[in-house]
Structure 1
Amino acid sequence: MAKYSFEFKKEVVVAYLSSKGSTYSLAKDYGIPDNKQVSKWVNSYQKMGDEGLRRSRRYKNYSVEYKISVVELYLSNELSYQELSLQQGINNPALIAKWVNDFRIAGPEALRVRKKGRKKTLDKSCDSAI
């Protein structure tokens, strides 16, 4: 379960946008440990509207080409993960950080989709007994 609900985030963002306080004072008033979190919510809301505050409930598949282009954008520009995620419409900046780290360690091959789980092996002696 998410730590903060959509309604709570929206309430904090609306309070900020209606000049009821700074990110620091709103974080303190609403019991949010870090005022940077309020800034992230405000930026996401301004760029993507309500969808920027909602938790994504569906798994998105990104193509290898798209991942590589986002990583190259990060490496060639002086954008933060947060700024790049807002620009690309990705709601999770940590996902871009993972792509960049994987790319730096193993190159573009690390961004390819791999099957998860154990490999299935058939025991030849069991098949002949049937």
Structure 2
Amino acid sequence: MSKYSEEFKRQLVEEYLRGSIGYDKLAKKHGMPASSLIRRWVNAFRDLGQSGLTPKRTPTAYPVQFKRDVLHFIKLTGASHQEAASHFGLNNASLITSWSLSRENLGMEGLKQKPKGRPSMSKHSKKKPSKLENKQTREQELERENEALRLENTYLKKLKAFREDPEKYLEKHKQRWHSNSKKNSD
């Protein structure tokens, strides 16, 4: 359950938008510890309307491709996390921050959905992997490395195209970002 009700958020946003009081004074008036929440609510309301203030009942699991698109958009355009959140219809820019940190620390594996809960207890003790399993693991490592090299190659080609003519590149790929984000949010 959210600490602040949707009605309270809307009331503060409307009060701010009337222009009579700033973020800091509004936070102080309502006994809030910081004005950053109000700023986030106002941005969410401007970008998403009333739905930007509505707390989600269940957390949304974003696909890896969507996360990659958002992070790629930031890298290409130099947009802030808040601007990217607005562009892709997210009401919480801190999601993008956590995706970015996960990718920095764990690579693309960090963007994958993690299983929730505690792992089940195994009734049998774990066996040592046989040589055949080691060979499969080595093959899997090579496949992963090939995929990473393919992705890097594709990225470098796109970066070169972007550097040659940024306006043309962004116009060409703008529609694809919109269509990907709409497909994945359904």
Give the TM interval when normalised to the shorter protein. 0.7 to 0.9
Bigger shift: residues 6-15 or 83-92: 83-92
Q: Which runs of 5+ in 1 are unaligned?
A: 125-130
Larger Rg: 2
Q: Partner of 1:127 in structure 2?
A: none
Q: Which moved more, 1:81-90 or 1:49-58?
A: 81-90
Q: Which runs of 5+ in 2 are unaligned?
A: 126-186
Q: CA deviation at 1:119?
A: 4.7
Q: Report the CA distance shift for 1:30/1:115 in structure 2 as closer, same or farther (over 3 A).
A: closer
Deviations 1:9-34 (A, max 9, x none): 10011111122312222122112222
Identity %: 31
On the 8 A contact 2:61/2:113 being kept in 1, the answer is: no
Q: Which residue pairs with 2:32 in the alignment?
A: 32
What is the aligned partner in structure 1 of residue 66 from structure 2? Answer: 66
Separation (CA, whole Å) in 2 of partners of 1:115 and 1:55: 23
Q: TM-score, normalised by structure 1?
A: 0.82
For 1:64, give the aligned amino acid. Answer: V
What amino acid is the match of 2:59?
Y
Partner of 2:47: 47
Q: Counting helix residues as a fraction of each chain, which structure ranks higher?
A: 2
What is the letter of the counterpart of residue 11 of structure 2?
A: E
Distance in 2, matches of 1:15 and 1:27, equals 11
Q: CA RMSD in A?
A: 1.9
Structural mapping, 1:51-130, within 5 Å: 51-116=51-116, 117-119=118-120, 121-123=122-124
Distance 1:83 1:39 in 2: 13
**Count of paired positions:** 124
For normalisation by structure 2, the TM-score amounts to 0.60
Deviation at 1:123, TM superposition (A): 3.1
